[in-house]
Amino acid sequence: MSEQIFKQHDELAKLIERFSDGEGVHETSISSLFLIRHSEVSEPIHGVYKPCFCIVVQGLKEVLLGQERFRYGPGDYFVASVDLPVTGQIMKATSYAPYLALKLEFAPSQILEVIDESKLEVGRKNNAKRGMFVTQIESSLLDAVTRLINLLDNPKDIPVLAPLFTKEILYRILQGQHGDTLKQIAIEGSSTNQIRDVIEKITTNYNKSFRIEELAEVANMSVSSLHRYFKEVTAMSPIQFQKQLRLQEARRLLLLESTDAADVAFRVGYESPSQFSREYSRMFGFPPREDIKRLRAKFDNRKNA
């Protein structure tokens, strides 16, 4: 990491500390920008990443997509270009040197706007790319990020300047080593864009059953092409993707509502409570009742600490 980038990280760390009110993920006056602070290593956290750009200025994080691991820390940046069910874990954090990071969410329409305005060259439409990558950060990108966060000191400037700085951040990413990944997701007719339509179909109807031919029709692909391109983008099959969404939603419902596991299994689309329990245990490491009891005990201990 160059001295310039080291200095920029140090400045960003101070800004994140200043605008983060304690532990956790913090919304900001810029609706798409989130600041994150944690003082200890976390257990694996399951969730769905929306399209986003993330940087860590202190600490280390690992994200699991299917069976692939993406690890990033200072000097890197991380991008998810489509909605993806993942498992994330903070690997390095202490009370003296907490994990400090930021996340900027974006929409494919913003990518398309930057491509159109900048006349960036777009590759072949059938060139499907993994919907997630980690790569080395550049000083120019950090500069744009710093200017975006500094707007939090001047709320009146946010409506005008935040879209401009966000556009610059996306422009820098599009010019980077993996920029074609973002380009493909926004270009109508590209295989990645067609897979995004399937992802949206599954995500909004995760509790319903699909025939693979129905999903292939959404993508305007053959069944074999759908399987190939879907796995290329998401690192999993459509069925595995849907299963992760169902199990994550089931866990959320069990935590929030104290509901019977069998009832939740039916609500998220399972026909067999025993199959639900087996797949839940496989994903989270414990049967539903034991897992929820464990998580609530951890939450209570932190609240009372």
CA dist., res. 57 & res. 163, Å (int): 23
Amino acid at 287: P
| Displacement of CA 205 from its chain's centroid (Å) | 19
Candidates 209, 208, 181; CA nearest to 196 is 181
Cβ contact 233:193 at 8 Å: no
The pLDDT, as a whole number, for residue 185 is 85
CA dist., res. 228 & res. 223, Å (int): 9
Task: Count the Cβ atoms, other than its own, within 10 Å of residue 256.
Answer: 8
**DSSP letters of 119-140?**
T-----TT----SEEEEE--HH
Q: Which residues contact 243 (CB under 8 A, 6 or more apart)?
A: 279
One digit per residue, pLDDT tens: the chain, 305 residues? 788 998 999 999 999 999 998 899 999 999 999 999 999 999 899 999 999 999 999 999 999 999 999 999 999 999 999 999 999 999 999 999 999 999 999 998 999 999 989 877 776 555 678 999 999 999 999 999 999 999 999 999 999 999 999 999 999 999 998 888 888 888 878 888 899 999 999 999 999 999 999 999 999 999 999 999 999 999 999 999 999 999 999 999 998 886 789 999 999 999 999 999 999 999 999 999 999 998 888 766 665 55
Domain map (residue ranges) of the chain: 3-185, 186-239, 243-304
Task: Count the Cβ atoms, other than its own, within 10 Å of residue 220.
Answer: 12
The pLDDT, as a whole number, for residue 27 is 96
What CATH architecture is 3-185? Sandwich (2.60)
Read off the tokens for 206. Answer: 């995760």
The pLDDT, as a whole number, for residue 291 is 92
Angle, to 10 degrees, between the axis of helix 238-257 and the axis of helix 223-234? Answer: 50
The pLDDT, as a whole number, for residue 195 is 94
The pLDDT, as a whole number, for residue 272 is 95
Task: Give domain 243-304's CATH superfamily.
Answer: Homeodomain-like (1.10.10.60)
Sign of the torsion angle spanned by Cα atoms 150, 155, 157, 159: positive
Q: Give Cα separations from 282 to 68, 70, 82, 244, 287 (angstroms).
A: 17, 21, 25, 11, 8
Cβ contact 104:31 at 8 Å: no
Task: Count the Cβ atoms, other than its own, within 10 Å of residue 24.
Answer: 11
CA dist., res. 15 & res. 11, Å (int): 6
CA dist., res. 153 & res. 170, Å (int): 22
The pLDDT, as a whole number, for residue 302 is 61
